[in-house]
Structure 1
Amino acid sequence: MDAKLKYKAKKIKIVFFDIDDTLRTSKTGFIPATIPTVFKQLREKGILTGIASGRGIFGVVPEIRELKPDFFVTLNGAYIEDKKGQVIYQHQIEKLDVEEYVSWTKEEGIEYGLVGSHDAKLSTRTELISEAIDPIYPNLDVDPDFHEKADIYQMWTFEEKGDDLHLPESLSDKLRMVRWHEHSSDIVPISG
């Protein structure tokens, strides 16, 4: 390592890790035995650690929690907790935008999911939805009206339209689609 890179490395204060297919294989749940050692060595050097994931805090598996990271940046940055469970930041999607999104999915003939800070619900349960979501959140309940009971931080599409699907203009200046599965996209705030 050259001197310039060593100098930059000494300035590192925090390191963030994604969960799926970074720390943990999403299909099998395998976590390399070296991962806890990496977290321990970073702590010994005084470097903070964080998890940064599209998953909700409720979807962070026990093996990742056991690594004792200092921060959990979840729902693509919309909900952040420290290691003590204290909320550091939260950014909900406006209720009217959620309602418009739900109406749009019905017009498009696609299904959806709604994600709160500590729970998520599906509009229905189909094989296509199960294939996409169960590896991340097994056995989610169906509640198409979840947004009437909880603040929503993120939403999902479930469809076969792929990259041909686009949000309506009335939502595309506030929300964006991030494809994470062949049959699903995260719907997140543009500012997120």
Structure 2
Amino acid sequence: MAYKIAFFDIDGTLVNEEKQIPQDAIAAIHELKARGVEAVIATGRAPYFFKPIADELGIDSYVSLNGAYVVYKGKAIFKRAIPRDSMEQLVRHAASNNHFLVFEGEQFYYSNTEDHPFMLSSVDSLKVDRPHYDPAFWESSEVFQVFLHCGEAEEHLYIGSIPSLRFVRWHPNAMDVLPTDGSKALGIQYLLESLGIKPEEAVAFGDGLNDKEMLEYVGLGIAMGNSHPELLVHADYVTTSVDEEGIRNGLIHAGLLEAQA
């Protein structure tokens, strides 16, 4: 199969634990693009969380916010905000459990707590600016995704509690909240259809629980060697880790780059 496009998760895939892109990954992406293959970021992050990464790689197309916000060559082509009634239910339910939220908008993100340690630890792990404080942001602006801050032992309070929403853990203290049918795969599907590319002509790289649908949807789903164990059964191939030339080795397996002598 001659693949035409490749999607790359960020955390644990393009960047390592230090949130740095290994030089071999940078070189591999540039070589891929030079061969005429589209390189697209596919991440749970919001665009304002990864602009420096995209700029360093020379990538201006992305599926962000777990499929809710899609940009192709710098132009937004798909937006899907969480319905207001679902937001109201979530805010009320989280408050009843004394858990705090971060609302991810189009231009920036806002928290309904200023200094809770769970919020600070999850946000700081991304090495990005901290959110502004605005508990009412969701009432007047579109929210594309939410961080819900609670420990794993409290996860059961939310799973299935609001039928229109799903909860995916990405940090010991935080879960992504998105529409029940939302996923990176949904955004990828929209982008591929707009480009006239078939799913089987696409490759995707990921390492986390929010990459399951994406790896299953494309023609070749590649899991990083440092992936969450539960992701591996959803992948067609497991490459090496992010710090062990995982991107390059995966692209070689896909036939998109040649092995170096």
- Please state if 1:83 is matched with 2:73: yes
Deviation at 1:63?
Answer: 3.2
Letter in 1 for 2:88: E
Q: Give the equivalent residue in structure 1 for 2:259.
A: none
**Which structure 2 residues correspond to residues 37-56 of structure 1 after superposition, within 5 A?**
37-56=27-46
Paired with 2:6 and 2:121, the residues of 1 have a C-alpha distance of 32
Q: Give the equivalent residue in structure 2 for 1:71.
A: 61
Paired with 2:147 and 2:34, the residues of 1 have a C-alpha distance of 39
Letter in 2 for 1:77: G
More helix by share: 2
Deviations 1:37-58 (A, max 9, x none): 2122111221101000000011
Deviation at 1:36?
Answer: 2.2
Deviation at 1:59?
Answer: 0.5
Match of 2:136 among 140, 145, 170: 145
Q: Give the equivalent residue in structure 1 for 2:157.
A: 165
The answer as to whether partners of 2:54 and 2:60 remain within 8 angstroms in 1 is no
Number of aligned residues: 179
Deviations 1:115-150 (A, max 9, x none): 112211111021221111122233211111111231
**Percentage identity across paired residues of the two chains:** 28
Q: Give the equivalent residue in structure 1 for 2:146.
A: 155
Paired with 1:63 and 1:155, the residues of 2 have a C-alpha distance of 22
Deviation at 1:167?
Answer: 4.4
Paired with 2:141 and 2:155, the residues of 1 have a C-alpha distance of 29
Paired with 1:176 and 1:77, the residues of 2 have a C-alpha distance of 13
Instruction: Tell me the SS of whatever aligns to 2:178.
Output: strand
Q: Give the equivalent residue in structure 1 for 2:209.
A: none
Paired with 1:117 and 1:57, the residues of 2 have a C-alpha distance of 8
Deviations 1:15-56 (A, max 9, x none): 01111111112x422211112221221112211010000000
Gaps of 5+ in 1: 1-7
Paired with 2:167 and 2:68, the residues of 1 have a C-alpha distance of 15
Letter in 1 for 2:144: Y
Paired with 1:168 and 1:141, the residues of 2 have a C-alpha distance of 29
Instruction: Tell me the SS of whatever aligns to 2:101.
Output: strand
Deviation at 1:159?
Answer: 1.6
Task: Identify if the C-alpha distance between structure 1 residues 44 and 168 changes in structure 2 by more than 3 Å, giving closer, same or farther.
Answer: closer
Instruction: Tell me the SS of whatever aligns to 2:85.
Output: helix
- Please state if 1:21 is matched with 2:12: yes
Q: Give the equivalent residue in structure 1 for 2:124.
A: 134
Paired with 2:22 and 2:125, the residues of 1 have a C-alpha distance of 18
Paired with 1:40 and 1:70, the residues of 2 have a C-alpha distance of 13
